Amino acid sequence: MRFLLDDGQRAFAASLDALLTAADPAGVVREWSRGDHASGRALWSRLARAGVFALAVPETYEGGLGPRPVELAVAFVELGRHAVPGPLVETVTAAVLLTGADPGIAERLLPVLASGERMATVAPAGAYALDGDAATLRLSWEPDGIRLSPGHGPVRPSLDPARRLTPLAPGGELLDAPTGQALTWARLATAAQALGVGLALLDRTVGHVRRRTQFGAPVGSFQAVKHRLADAKIALEFARPLVFGAALTLRPADAAAAKVAACEAAYTTARTALQLHGAIGYTAEYDLSLWLTKARALRTAWGDPHECRALVVSAADDRRW
Amino acid sequence: MDLAFSPADEAFRTEVRQWLHARVPREPLPSLETADGFEAHRAWEAELAADRWSVVDWPAEYGGRDAGLLRWLVFEEEYHAAGAPGRVGQNGIHLLAPTLFAHGTEEQRARVLPPMARGEVIWAQAWSEPEAGSDLASLRARAVRTDGGWLLSGQKTWSSRAAFADRAFGLFRSDPDTAKPHQGLTYLMFALRAPGVRVRPLARLDGKPAFAELFLDEVFVPDEDVIGEPGQGWRIAMATAGNERGLMLRSPGRFLAAARRLEGLWRERGGPGSERDRVADALIGARAYQLFTYAAASRFLDGEAVGPESSLNKVFWSELDIALHETALDLLGPEGEPADTDWAQRYVFALAGPIYAGTNEIQRDIIAERLLGLPKGRR
Ligand SMILES: Cc1cc2nc3c(=O)[nH]c(=O)nc-3n(C[C@H](O)[C@H](O)[C@H](O)COP(=O)(O)OP(=O)(O)OC[C@H]3O[C@@H](n4cnc5c(N)ncnc54)[C@H](O)[C@@H]3O)c2cc1C
C-alpha cells in the first residue's frame, strides 16, 4: 500500500500544467463559447500529443497507451484547473465504449481518438450531447446499444457558456459495443475535472482575498472569509483521495462516490469563490466565471448527485469498504 | 500508487481479526465514563496487552509489536469492525506516549510506558483551565521550584476520565515573568491521588461522571517527572498535539465501522430518498477519511512530517461523526430518543468532537493561515 502519485505521474501533471499555462486557455474558452473551434482544436491536438486521449485506449490499438485510469485522473485534474473546453470526458468515454466494439470498428476509430484527429461526443438517447457541433464522432447511448449518430440538432448554450449542448440526430448505424465500464470512466474523468475546477477556484480566491483590501486590511484577514476558504480546502482535499481511489479500483460505486464528493466540493468552492470576490466575480469578462459556471454544470453531468449516492448505497458488495 | 496491502500485512489483518473474534466481549461493556465501566475497560486493556495488542505500533520492549503505521491502521480497521470496546487508555497512548518517545528520557519511557500499555496506569490530559481553553497559552496553574522537584498549584478542568484515572500530564507556568504567554511553561506528569490534589467529577452532557476538574495545592512532583527541559513545555506539547487532531486519535476504522452500522440501520428500516442520500454521504465521508489517511501515512513513511494538515483531519472527522449520528437518530425517529441506546450515546459523544482537541474554529484559522497562506487576523 502506497497511496501516493509516483514521480512519473507527478511529472505528467507538471508537464500538462506547463503546456496549458502557456496555451492561454481563457482565450480558447471564450472563442469556443462563440462556436469558433479553431483554437480549441489546436489545443486538443497538443493535448493528444501529450497522450491525454490515449490513456483510455488499450495499447493493442495504434496510439493507445492505456488503460491508465490514474494517469487519466491526473490529466483531468489539470484540464479542470485550466478550464479547458470541449467534449473531453465524452471522448474518453467513447474510447472506452469502442474498446469493446466489433474489432473492425475499434481498429478504425480508436487510433483517431487517441491521436486527437477526431473529437467524440456521447449522450444517452434524448439527452443533450456536449459539443455535438465540434465533435466528428457522435455516439448515441440507447437502450438497445450504441448508435453512430448521423448529425446533431441546434446548439443551445449551457449555463456554462463553454459547454455547447446539442441534441443528436436519431438513427444511424447500431454498433456492437457493450457499455461495460464506460460510465465508470465517464464519472471518474468528470470527478477529476471537477476537482481541478475546484482547486483553481480556491487558488484564485485565495489570491484575490490576499490582495483586495477593505476597512484598511486584506479581506483575507477576516475570520468569516478565512473559515469559508478553510471549508473549501477541506472539501477538496477529502475529494482528492476518492478520485484517485476510484481510479485504482475502477469500481462503479467508487467512481460514483468520487463524483459526488468532487462535484459537491467544486460547487461549494464556486459559491464561496463568487461570494468572496464580490461583484467582480459576477462579471463575465473576469476569468473567474470560466470555472464558476463549469462547477455547476459538471455536478449534473454523467449522473447527478442523487443518482450517484443511490449507487453508493445500493452497491454494498461492489463497494467493498 | 496502489491500495493493496502486502501479503504480510494481510496475514497480520487475519491474525488481528481472529484474535478479536475470539475475545471481543459478546455484551458491550458498560460506558468507560462510569466507575464500573472504567474498571471493566481497564481489564480489557490488560487482556489486549497480554497478547501485545494494546499498542501494536510501539517497540516490543514497551509492550508493542513494532508493527508500524500501516499495520496500526489495519489493526484499527479490524478493531472497530469487530465492535471492540472503546479505549480507556487513549489519552496516554495517543498523547503522552508520542511525547515521551520524542522528548522523554530513557528512564521515563521504561517507567511510564509498560504500565500504560497494560492499563495499570490510566492517564488524563490536564491542559485546559477555566480561563484557558482555546487560548491555552494563557494558562495560569503554576509550577514553583522546590528541593528535588516542583510544587504545582492552580486549577485544571474538563479533564476526560480524570475522575477515575491514575495520573495526569499537563502544562504549568514555571516562569511568570516571560514576555510571551507561551514561554516559561513546563510539561509535567503528576499523580491524581497525590497529597494536595482534589478531583471534582463534572457530569458531561450525557450525565456520565468521569469528566473532572482538578484543584491542585502545592502538589509535589519530582524532577524525574518533568518532560523535556523546564520552560520548553509549549513547544513539546504542541509537537504532539497534531496526534490528537490527526490520525492517531481518530482512526479511519472507527468511522468506516460507524458508517456501515448506519447503512445497516437504513437497510433495516428503509426511509425516504433524502435519508438514503445522507447515508451515502456518511459512507463516502468515511471512505474519504480512510483514503486521506492512507495518503498521509504514505507521506509519513516517505519521511515527511505531519504538519498543519492534521487540522484538515480534525474538522473533517468531527463533522462527519456528527452528521453520521444525526442521520441515525433521524432514521430512528422517536425510538432514537432513549439515552441508553448505543446510537444516542454515540451521538452525544460526537457532539463534543468540534470542541475538544482544539475547536474547529481554531482549526479553520490554522488551515487558512498555515495551509492557504492567508494573513493573520486578530485572535
Ligand atoms: C468532551 C470533552 C473532553 C475534553 N477533554 C479534555 C481533556 O481531557 N483535557 C483537557 O485539558 N481538556 C479537555 N477538554 C477541553 C477542551 O480542550 C476545550 O474545551 C477546548 O480547548 C475549547 O476551550 P473552551 O471550552 O474554553 O472554549 P472557548 O475557548 O471559551 O471557546 C468558546 C467558543 O469560542 C470560539 N473561539 C474561541 N477563540 C476563538 C478565536 N480566536 N476565533 C474564533 N472562535 C474562537 C471557540 O471556537 C468556541 O466555539 C475537553 C472538552 C470536551 C468538550
Look at chain B and report how many structural domains it folds into: 3
Residue A318 binned pLDDT confidence (cut-offs 50, 70, 90): confident
Domain-located, residue B96: no
Task: Report the pLDDT averaged over residues B247-261.
Answer: 88
pLDDT on residue B249:
67
The strand pairing partners of B173, in sequence order, are: B142, B185
C-alpha cell of residue B295: 495518503
Whether residue B63 is contained in a domain is answered as yes
Based on the domain organization, do B308 and B339 belong to the same domain? yes
B210 domain-assigned: yes
Is residue B318 a part of any domain in this protein? Answer: yes
Which pLDDT score is estimated for B273?
78
Instruction: Tell me whether residue B111 is in a domain.
Output: no
Provide CB contacts within 8 A for A73, sequence distance 6+. A188, A189, A191, A192, A243, A244, A246, A247
Does B364 lie at the interface with A, CB-CB under 8 angstroms? Answer: yes
Asked whether residue B316 is assigned to any structural domain, the reply reads: yes
- Ligand 1: distance of its center to the CA of B328 in Å? 26
Residue B218: pLDDT band (50, 70, 90) is very high
- On the question of pLDDT at B232 being above 70, the answer is yes
Evaluate whether residue B95 is within a structural domain.
no
pLDDT of residue A151 exceeding 90, the answer is: yes
Residues 241-280, chain B, touching A (beta carbon < 8 A): 256, 263, 266, 273, 276-277, 279-280
For residues B253 and B368, membership in a common domain is answered with: yes
Q: CB-CB: which of B277, B299, B368 is closest to A230?
A: B368
Residue bearing cell 456536449:
A130
The whole-chain average pLDDT of chain B stands at 94
- pLDDT of the residue at B206: 87
pLDDT of residue B246: 63
What does each C-alpha distance from A117 to A111, A114, A139, A162 come to in angstroms?
Answer: 9, 8, 16, 21
Integer-rounded Cα Rg, in Å, for chain A is 19
Are residue B259 and residue B364 in the same domain, yes or no? yes
Q: Which atom of ligand 1 is nearest to the CA of B357?
A: 17
Going across the sheet that includes A145-148, the strands are A120-124, A137-142, A145-148, A173-175
Dist. CA A262–CA A274, nearest whole Å? 18
| Residue B211 sits in the same domain as residue B308 | no
Span A178-216, pLDDT tens digits: 998 999 999 999 999 999 999 999 999 999 999 999 999
Tens digits of residue pLDDT in A246-290: 999 999 999 999 999 999 999 999 999 999 999 999 999 999 999
Instruction: Check whether residue B312 and residue B255 sit in a common domain.
Output: yes
Pair (B227, B252) in one structural domain: no
Q: Are residues B254 and B364 in the same domain?
A: yes
Amino acid letter for position B103? H
Residues B309 and B286 grouped into a single domain: yes
Q: Which of B87, B108, B142 is the last residue in one of the domains?
A: B87
Q: Are residues B265 and B359 in the same domain?
A: yes
Q: Where are the alpha helices (DSSP H) in chain A?
A: 7-22, 25-33, 38-49, 69-81, 88-99, 103-114, 182-211, 223-249, 252-277, 288-300, 305-314, 316-319
Same domain, B253 and B366: yes
A233-251 average pLDDT score: 98
Give the CATH number for residue B224: 2.40.110.10
Task: Identify whether B112 is part of a domain.
Answer: no
Domains of chain A, first to last: 7-175 (1.10.540.10), 181-318 (1.20.140.10)
Domain CATH for B309? 1.20.140.10
Q: Quickly state the pLDDT bin for B245 (edges 50, 70, 90).
A: low
Which of B136, B139, B355 for mutating ligand 1's site (highest number of atoms within 8 Å of CB)?
Answer: B355
Kindly indicate the confidence band of residue B39, based on its pLDDT and cuts at 50, 70 and 90.
very high
Given a cut of 80, is residue B379 above it in pLDDT? no
Q: If you measure from the C-alpha of residue B145 to the centroid of ligand 1, how many angstroms do you get, rounded to a whole number? A: 30
- Mark whether B192 and B293 lie in a shared domain: no
Domain span including residue B168: 123-231
Q: Report pLDDT for B239.
A: 82
Report pLDDT digits (tens) over A2-38: 999 999 999 999 999 999 999 999 999 999 999 999 9
pLDDT, position B272? 79
Q: Quick one: pLDDT at residue A125?
A: 86
- B133-141: average pLDDT: 96
Query: Domain check: are B164 and B273 in the same one?
Result: no
B369 touches chain A (CB under 8 A): yes
